[in-house]
Amino acid sequence: MKRFVKVAALCSTLLVGALGFAGPASADLVYELDESNCCGNIDFGTVTLDDTGTPGQVIVTVHLNEPTPVAGIVQTGLTSFLFNNSVSLTSLNISNVTAGFTWTTNLNGDGAGDFQYGFDCTSACGSGGSTPYVGDFSFTVLAAGLSSSTFTPNPLNPGGTKGGNFFAVDICLASDTGCQATGLAWTDNPCTEGCNPPPCTVDCGPPDQNVPEPASLLLLAGAAIAAGVTRRRRRR
């Protein structure tokens, strides 16, 4: 009987401690690049915002679906990557930029509307659609008050034909011979595929669980107590 009481007490202690320390599942905010003025409205890739846990710091990562349908990021006269933020930013707020990309204030958002900030693919890309940059493009932003929620959509142009977009990327639509077409692909809302409620996490799937959920801990504790009862009955 004493051993059973000890097992039950231990399970209760573990359960209370786990409930006290279990935090929310970690999740990155993901935007799906699925609209364009060149290449139809298909799944071109994603832009992920990672709140690192450091106040005011966010890592931005652009991932394109290479080599199909995208051959990479290009520099065609449009700005290679465009974004907005309600926090005022300069190049001093930017670090850890993928080699070959340069902060720019000379912005061309074409059909995606007007943006506040951007990067050009300089030495990482060839001119025009030649030699697209292949791989993820990323950078870190650090500023007081910054978070994934301060990345905002651009304003709608008169008539509402452009704008309302969070990010845009100058892409090369892949073909057997190189670029079938080039132009901006953009996103106007966080990914909502396969998640309830939105927004989604990495790869538009369910949140990553870093710690057991309280419900799972309850099941474990109950199983341990039941095992103690069973042993006690067998001994009798």
DSSP 150: G
3-state SS, residue 208? strand
Predicted structure pTM score: 0.74
SS3 62: strand
Of 153, 128, 78, 75, nearest in space to 108 by CA:
78
Residue 210 makes CB contacts below 8 A (sequence gap 6+) with 23, 25, 26
CB atoms within 10 A of CB 181: 15
The highest-confidence range among 75-89, 172-186, 203-217, by mean pLDDT, is 75-89
Q: What are the tens digits of pLDDT across the range 8-52? A: 454 445 444 444 444 334 458 999 999 998 999 999 999 999 999
Instruction: Please state, in angstroms and rounded to a whole number, the distance separating the CA atoms of residues 179 and 13.
Output: 62
The pLDDT tens digits for 157-186 are 877 778 999 999 999 999 887 789 999 999
pLDDT of residue 27: 58
Task: Please give the share of the chain, as a percent, with pLDDT higher than 90.
Answer: 56
Find all residues with CB under 8 Å of 144, minimum gap 6, and list them.
56, 87
